[in-house]
Amino acid sequence: MACVWNKVGPSPSRSGRGSSPFFCFMDAMSSRLPLLDALRDQVLLCDGGMGSRIQMLDLDLTRDYWGQENCTEILTLSRPELIREIHRGYYEAGADMVETNTFGGSPITLGEFGLTDKAREINRTSAILAREAADSFADGRTRYVIGSVGPGTKLPSLGNIDYDTLEAALTEQGRGLIEGGVDAILIETCQDTLQIKAAVNGMKIARAEMGTTTPIFVQVTVETTGTLLVGPDIAAATTVIHSLDVDLMGLNCATGPQEMAEHVRWLSENWPRLISVQPNAGLPELVDGQTRYPLSPEEMAVWVERFIVEDGLNLIGGCCGTSTPHIAALDAMLRRRAEGTGKHRPAPVARTSVWVPSVASLYTQVPLRQENAYFSIGERCNANGSKKWRELQEAHDWDGCVALGREQAKEGSNALDICTAFVGRNERAEMDEVIKRFTSSVNAPLVIDSTETPVIEAALKLHGGKPIINSINFEDGEGPAADRLTLARKFGAAVVALTIDEEGMARRPEDKLRIATRLIEFACDTYGLPQSDLMIDPLTFTIATGAEDDRKLGQWTLEGIKMIRDAFPDVQIVLGLSNISFGLNPAARAVLNSVYLDHAVRAGMTAAIVHVSKIRPLHMIAPEEVKVAEDLIFDRRTADYDPLQKLLELFADRKASEAVKRKRAETVEERLKDRIVDGDRKGLETDLEEAMAKMPPLEIINTVLLDGMKVVGELFGAGKMQLPFVLQSAETMKAAVAWLEPHMERIEGQQRGTIVLATVKGDVHDIGKNLVDIILTNNGYKVVNLGIKVPVADMIEAAKKEKAHAIGMSGLLVKSTVIMRENLEEISREGLDVPVLLGGAALTRNYVEEDCVAAYSPTGRVAYARDAFDGLTLMDQITQNGFDDYLAAISKRRAGKATRKNARTPEQAETRGYTLIDPTVARARRARMTADEPRLKPPFWGSKVIEAPTEAVIPFLNERSLYQFQWGFRKQGRSLDDFMVWAKQELRPILRRMLDLTAKENILRPQAAYGYWKAAGDGNDLILFEEDGVTEAARFTLPRQPREDGECIADFVRDVSDPERDVVALQVVTVGQKASDIARDWFEENRYQDYLYLHGLSVEVAEAMAEYTHKRIRAELGFSSEDSRDLDALLQQGYRGSRYSFGYPACPRLEDQHPILGLLGAERIGVSLTDGDQLHPEQSTSALVILNKHAKYFTI
C-alpha cells in the first residue's frame, strides 16, 4: 500500500532487488554517493540565476556572443573566464554548489544557433569551468558542481518533437556533463512530464556508457495556474517522476516562494526522497516599463527558512531574479541555524511522508488502491471486446473514440484499457492515433493493451503520464516478459501480469498462486518493479457453459485471489470481470458481474476491467437474483436445483438495465422543449422547420419554447440547474426566436409585456440587471434596457413612451438603495402608478416592503425581486392582473408582525458611528494599539504605478468566490470541500479557457497605483501628511463603533501628538475598461454564458490584483514573511494588518476616494470616479492599507 518514511534519509529499499542486464534503467537510484550523503546529512545551498549575473555584464554581440544573440551557453567557449568568475562569485557568497552554464545546452536548443556539433564540447567545458571555480578555494570545504539541463524549446507532449530525437539529444548533453565531472545532473524548469522521461532516460544512458552512477535530480516548474505548462498538477508530475527512480525532486522558477508554498507542502507530505526548492525572487512585475523581481534577499531567506523548518528541505537556492546577495542571505540563514552543531550547515528537519502507489494521466494522479472501492478500468476502448469501438476505429473516427473514452471516464472509470488489435488493421499506427488523442483529451490514466512489444513501446513514447502495460505472462517463456518489464522500468509504468506459464492458464487456486509467485519474483526482484506497481491477474473464466469442468472456476478464482493477497499484500490484483458471465444474455450478465465483483473485492481484488455503468449495487438487485448468482458462483447445486438453469429462467425475457438517459422525444414539440432545457443548439433549425409545418411561429414560441424556459426556471429555483446553464438555455431560446422571426408578421403587442430596466444613477454595476434582461427577454417580454447610471427622469420618459407594464431598478451599493427610494418618490410625484420591481445586493426584503412601499404613495405598488427568476414571476403577476393581490397578501402578512423598532435605514447606517469621541479616550486607545508596533520604513514616499502580467496575479484568485458568487454555481447539498473538489474537475477547465481567451485578446490588464504617506490619528480622523510630516495631504473622518472601547481605523496609527509619524499605504487597482467593453459586446451578441464568465472573472482578477499589490506593500515594509502559506487562509486576512475598501462599514463614504485617487495619480492607470463616487472602470478597487497587527475588519 503506502510507504511511510519518517525521516530524511535513504528511501525504502526494494526487497530482493538483484542485478539485471538492463542496468541503465534499473540502477537509477544511487544511495551511497558523497553528494547524496551530504544532502541527507545537511541542508545544502545551490547558486542563483546565471542569467541574472550575465545580464549585469557589458557584453558585445560579436566579440562575446559570436553573433549568436541570447545564446548564453556560447560564453563558455568565447569568455570562459567570465563564466568561471560567476561561479566563483556564487561560491564566495556561500553556495555549496553551482549549476553549469548549460541550461540551453542540448543539441536541439544549440541547433537553433547553428551549434549542434558543439553541444558535447560546451557541456563538457562548462562542467570543467565550474569544477575549476570550486577547486580554486583552499579552505577544505567540499563544493559541488551540478550539471544543468533545461526544458529546451520543443516539448514532446505538444507535438513539437518526437521522443527518440529528444532522448538522443539529451543523451549527448549528458555525455558532455559527465565527461566534465559533474557531481549530479539537475533536469530543471520541467514543464512536460514526457520531456522529463526523455531527459532522465537520456542521462541514464549517458552515465551507463560512462560507467558512473551520477545522481539525477528533477525540478518541475508549477505555473501560477497551479499546473505545469502542459497541464500536469504536482501530484501527477510526482507520480511520473517517482516511477523513474530519481534521487531528488523539487520546484524551481515561475513563481516566488509564497506561490510555491502549497506545492512544497504537498511534496513534503508525499514525496519519500530528497526535496529541493529554488524559487524566483517573487513574481515579476513591470515598473516604469522594466521587469523587476520584488523579493529582497532578506525576505527570500525568511520564506525559505520556513520551508526548511516546516517541510524538511535538503537543498535550497535561487532562480530568476536572484543573484549573489540572495545567496549570501540564504547562506547567513543556514549558518545561523547550524550554530552550536559544529557544522556550517544545519541537518534537515525530520519529516513524515506517505507515498501512495498511483498511476496518472497527463494531468492527474489516481491511486491504485481506491478507498472503499476498487480501481475500475474501463473496457469499452477495446477492438476485441467492444463493437462500437471497433466500428469507430475502422472508420478512423478518432473524435468518436475520444468521446467514448470521455464517456467511460465520466461514468467513473479510474483508467481506460486501450486495445487497437484486430485482423487486417495496422495496430501500431492506430494505437498511436488513439494514444496521442487520449493523452491530451481524456483525463484518465491509460492501460496500453497489446501482445506486441513494439506497439507498447511506441505508445509509451507518446504518453506523458504513468500508464499500465497490459500485459506480461510466461506463455512463451520469460523473454517477452523481460522486454516489457524493461520498458516499464524505463518509461515508468505499472504492469498487468497474467497467471499463465508454459503449461497454460492457471485454473486451480494453487496454480494461480504458484505462477503469481514466479511473476512477482521475476518482475520485482529481477527487474526492480515495485510490488505496488504489479497487478496480478489470476484469471477468471465463464461459469455459464454448464460443463462440469467449469462449475468451480469462479470459486477457484476467488480462492486464488485470497491466497495471493495473503502472500503478497502489496501487489495489486486485477480481473477481467466480464469473463465470468460470458455466454449469458445482457441482463443476466449485469447481475452476475455485479455479484461476483462484490465477492472478488471481499476476497482481496483491488482492480477490475469492467463496464462501470453496467455494475449495480447489490441492494438494487432483487434478493432472489443475488442468491441465484451466488449459488452459481459457489456451485451450490442440489438434486433438484441448478442455479445456472434458474438464472437463465429469471432473465429469459429481460433486458439489461441501462443508465438512465433522456430518450429522444418522439414529437417535435417535446424535442424543442428538451433543447431549451438542455441548451442544445445542434440541429435546432431542423426541428424548427418541422415544427413550422404544424403550427405558426408565434405558437411555437408561446406554447413550446416558453414551456421549456418555464422548466428552466423551475429547475433553477429548485437548485437543480446552475446559473451558467440557465444562460446556455437562454442562448438556445434566443437562437430559436431569431430563426423564427423572419417567418412572423410583426404585430403590435406580440410580447407578453414590457419592462423598463435600469441601474440607478451613480451606480456602474449592471451584471444583475443584464441577467434579468436575459431571462425576461427569453420568456417573451420586451425589455427596454437603459444601461447604468440612469437618472430617474430617463426611466419615467421611457416608461411613458413604451407604455411599460413595469419599471425595474437595480443597484449594488447601499447608496443605491437610498436613490431607489428617492426615485420612487419622484415617480409618484409625476403621477405614475406603474409597478416597480427593485433588486440588488444591498437591498433587503424588509427595506423594500416597508420604506420603499411607503415612499411610493399612494398605492405602494413596489416589490422586491431576489433574482432574475423572481423578476419573471413578478412580471407574470403584473401581466396576468395578479400583482395587486400579491401585494395585498404581503401587506396582510406584514400586518401580523410587530413593527420594527430602532431599525436603521440605509442612509442612517451610512452615518452611524460618526459621533465625536473624547480626544483623551481616543488617544489612550491609540497608544495601546500602537505601543508595540515597529517603526515602518517604506522604500519611497508618494506613489508609483506597476503593471503585473495576468499570470502573476492568478495565484491570488479566489476560486471559491469566482465559482459561487460571480458565476453562480451552487453547492447543491455538497459540503464546501466536496464542492471545491467538483469545481476543480468541472469548472477549472472553464477558468483555463477564459484565461486563455482573455490572454489571447489582451482583455485583462492588471495595473495598480500605490504608495506611502506619513500618517497620524486625531480623534476619529486619519490624517495623511506629505513627506515632511507636517503638511496635511488628506484627512478622513471615519466611524467608530458606538460602544465602550469601540474600534476605529484611526486608532491603528500613532497619535498626532506623537513626534514620530506612522505610515499608511494607499492603493487603487484595475483590470482596465476593455473587460467591460468586451463583456458588453458579448451581451449584445447573445453570448450570455461567456458574458457571465468574463464579467465574473474580471471582477475577481481585479480583487486578485488588490491582493497582489497588498502583498507587495507588506513585502516592501518587511512583513511578507508573516503571510499565511495557505491561499484560502491568506484571503481570509492571513497576514499582518488590513486593507480597508470604501463603501464598507469601517470606511463607508465613497466620496473619500477623491483624495486617494488624487494622491495616487490614478488617472495614470485610467481610473476615475463617477458622479456617484464609484470607481470607473467597474472592475477597480481602492483601499487604505494599515499594517498594524491589531487592524482587522469590523462592523459599526
Architecture (CATH level 2) of domain 50-276: Alpha-Beta Barrel (3.20)
In terms of Cα–Cα distance, which of 1157, 1158, 1161 is closest to 1181?
A: 1157
C-alpha 1191: how far from chain center? 32
Q: pLDDT at position 76, please?
A: 95
Pairing of strands 494-498, 365-367: unpaired
Q: What is the mean pLDDT of residues 248-277?
A: 93
C-alpha 1159/C-alpha 1011 separation (Å) is: 9
CA 103, 109, 110, 116 dihedral sign is positive
- In the chain, where does the domain assigned CATH 3.20.20.20 lie? 368-650
Q: pLDDT at position 743, please?
A: 81
How many residues comprise the chain? 1196
Of 11-25, 99-113, 141-155, 545-559, where does mean pLDDT reach its minimum? 11-25
C-alpha 1095/C-alpha 357 separation (Å) is: 42
Task: Establish whether 359 is an annotated binding residue.
Answer: no
User: pLDDT category, 652, cuts 50, 70, 90?
Assistant: confident
- pLDDT per residue over 188-234, tens digit each? 999 999 999 999 999 999 999 999 999 999 999 998 878 898 989 99
- pLDDT per residue over 999-1046, tens digit each? 889 999 999 999 999 999 998 999 999 999 999 999 999 999 888 888
Task: Establish whether 764 is an annotated binding residue.
Answer: yes
Question: Three-class SS of residue 785?
Answer: strand
Q: Give the long-range contacts of residues 79-87, CB within 8 A, separation 24 or more.
A: 80/125, 80/129, 82/54, 82/57, 83/126, 83/129, 84/129, 84/130, 84/132, 84/133, 85/133, 86/50, 86/53, 86/54, 87/47, 87/129, 87/130, 87/133, 87/134
| Residue 420 clears pLDDT 90, i.e. is over it | yes
- In the chain, where does the domain assigned CATH 3.20.20.330 lie? 50-276
Of 529-533, 605-609, 699-703, 1079-1083, where does mean pLDDT reach its minimum? 699-703
Task: Establish whether 320 is an annotated binding residue.
Answer: yes
Q: What is the mean pLDDT of residues 876-881?
A: 90
DSSP letter (8 states) at residue 1028: T
DSSP 357-416: -EEE-SS-EEESS-TTS-EEEE-SSBTTT-HHHHHHHHTT-HHHHHHHHHHHHHHT-SEE
Q: pLDDT at position 1023, please?
A: 95
The domain 919-952+1005-1073+1095-1186 having CATH identifier 3.40.50.300: the answer here is no
Q: Residue 640: which region, alpha, beta or left (left: phi > 0; alpha: psi -120 to 50)?
A: alpha
Q: Helices 684-692 and 723-740 sit at what angle, rounded to 10 degrees? A: 50
Q: Residue 561: which region, alpha, beta or left (left: phi > 0; alpha: psi -120 to 50)?
A: alpha
Q: pLDDT at position 21, please?
A: 36
User: pLDDT category, 745, cuts 50, 70, 90?
Assistant: low
Q: What is the mean pLDDT of residues 1166-1171?
A: 90
Task: Establish whether 319 is an annotated binding residue.
Answer: yes
| Residue 559 clears pLDDT 90, i.e. is over it | yes
Q: pLDDT at position 730, please?
A: 84
| Residue 660 clears pLDDT 70, i.e. is over it | no
- CB distance 260 to 251 below 8 Å: yes
> How far are the Cα atoms of 84, 471, 500, 551, 1176 from residue 568, in angstroms, in the given order?
54, 19, 18, 27, 67
Task: Establish whether 882 is an annotated binding residue.
Answer: no
Task: Establish whether 1139 is an annotated binding residue.
Answer: yes
| Residue 777 clears pLDDT 60, i.e. is over it | yes
C-alpha 1077/C-alpha 1003 separation (Å) is: 9
C-alpha 679/C-alpha 672 separation (Å) is: 10
Q: pLDDT at position 697, please?
A: 87
| Residue 586 clears pLDDT 80, i.e. is over it | yes
Domain 754-906 superfamily per CATH: Cobalamin-binding domain (3.40.50.280)
C-alpha 826/C-alpha 761 separation (Å) is: 13
Of 240-249, 679-688, 1029-1038, where does mean pLDDT reach its minimum? 679-688
Pairing of strands 942-947, 1007-1018: antiparallel
- pLDDT per residue over 1133-1148, tens digit each? 889 999 999 988 889 8
The domain 368-650 having CATH identifier 3.30.1360.170: the answer here is no
> How far are the Cα atoms of 658, 898, 927, 1089 from residue 512, in angstroms, in the given order?
35, 80, 80, 57
Give me 107's grid cell: 543539441
For the chain, percent of residues with pLDDT exceeding 70: 93
C-alpha 862/C-alpha 850 separation (Å) is: 10
| Residue 813 clears pLDDT 90, i.e. is over it | no
User: pLDDT category, 911, cuts 50, 70, 90?
Assistant: low
Give me 679's grid cell: 441548451
C-alpha 81/C-alpha 75 separation (Å) is: 9
Task: Establish whether 1028 is an annotated binding residue.
Answer: no
Beta bridge partners of 756: 784, 807
Q: pLDDT at position 7, please?
A: 38
- In the chain, where does the domain assigned CATH 1.10.1240.10 lie? 668-743
Instruction: Report the alpha-carbon angle 269-274-278, nearest 5.
Output: 90
Q: pLDDT at position 23, please?
A: 43
Contacts of 123 (CB under 8 A, 6+ apart): 100, 102, 105, 147, 173, 175, 176, 177, 179, 180
Average pLDDT score over the chain: 88
Question: Three-class SS of residue 908?
Answer: helix
CA 576, 581, 586, 587 dihedral sign is negative
Report how many helices (DSSP H) and strands (DSSP E) the chain contains, helices first.
45, 38
Q: What is the mean pLDDT of residues 802-810?
A: 93
Q: pLDDT at position 913, please?
A: 62
Q: Is the pTM of this model over 0.85?
A: no
> Amino acid letter at 196?
I
Q: pLDDT at position 223, please?
A: 87
Query: Which phi and psi angles does 484 have, rounded to 5°?
Result: -75, -30
| Residue 484 clears pLDDT 80, i.e. is over it | yes
Q: Helices 80-93 and 119-135 sit at what angle, rounded to 10 degrees? A: 40
C-alpha 491/C-alpha 485 separation (Å) is: 10
C-alpha 484/C-alpha 474 separation (Å) is: 12
- CB distance 922 to 1050 below 8 Å: yes
Task: Establish whether 1162 is an annotated binding residue.
Answer: no
Give me 950's grid cell: 495576468
| Residue 28 clears pLDDT 50, i.e. is over it | no
Task: Establish whether 763 is an annotated binding residue.
Answer: yes
- In the chain, where does the domain assigned CATH 3.10.196.10 lie? 919-952+1005-1073+1095-1186
Task: Establish whether 766 is an annotated binding residue.
Answer: yes
Pairing of strands 468-472, 184-190: unpaired
Give me 77's grid cell: 567557449
- CB distance 740 to 700 below 8 Å: yes
- pLDDT per residue over 35-76, tens digit each? 999 999 999 999 998 887 887 888 888 888 888 888 999 999
Q: pLDDT at position 33, please?
A: 52
Contacts of 1137 (CB under 8 A, 6+ apart): 1052, 1114, 1119, 1185, 1186, 1187, 1188, 1189, 1191
Task: Establish whether 743 is an annotated binding residue.
Answer: no
Q: pLDDT at position 897, please?
A: 56
**Assigned fold of 668-743:** 1.10.1240
User: pLDDT category, 25, cuts 50, 70, 90?
Assistant: low
- CB distance 346 to 543 below 8 Å: no
C-alpha 815: how far from chain center? 37
For the chain, percent of residues with pLDDT exceeding 90: 59
Question: Three-class SS of residue 155?
Answer: coil
- CB distance 420 to 434 below 8 Å: yes
C-alpha 37: how far from chain center? 37
C-alpha 538/C-alpha 533 separation (Å) is: 16
Task: Establish whether 24 is an annotated binding residue.
Answer: no
Pairing of strands 248-252, 216-220: parallel
| Residue 19 clears pLDDT 60, i.e. is over it | no
List the beta strands (DSSP E) in 979-1038: 1007-1018, 1021-1025, 1032-1037
Give me 384's grid cell: 476485441
Give me 9's grid cell: 534519509
C-alpha 521/C-alpha 503 separation (Å) is: 19
Q: What is the mean pLDDT of residues 326-348?
A: 94
Q: pLDDT at position 898, please?
A: 45
Q: Which residue shows C-alpha cell 548533453?
A: 173
- In the chain, where does the domain assigned CATH 3.40.50.280 lie? 754-906
In terms of Cα–Cα distance, which of 852, 827, 826, 854 is closest to 840?
A: 852
- CB distance 192 to 158 below 8 Å: yes
Q: Is 901 exposed, middle or buried (0-12, 13-18, 19+ CB in 10 A)?
A: exposed
Task: Establish whether 868 is an annotated binding residue.
Answer: yes
Q: What is the largest CA-CA distance in the chain?
A: 108
Of 53-57, 453-457, 495-499, where does mean pLDDT reach its minimum? 53-57
C-alpha 693/C-alpha 33 separation (Å) is: 83
Q: pLDDT at position 1116, please?
A: 87
Give me 1068's grid cell: 487603487
Instruction: Report the alpha-carbon angle 1036-1039-1044, nearest 5.
Output: 135
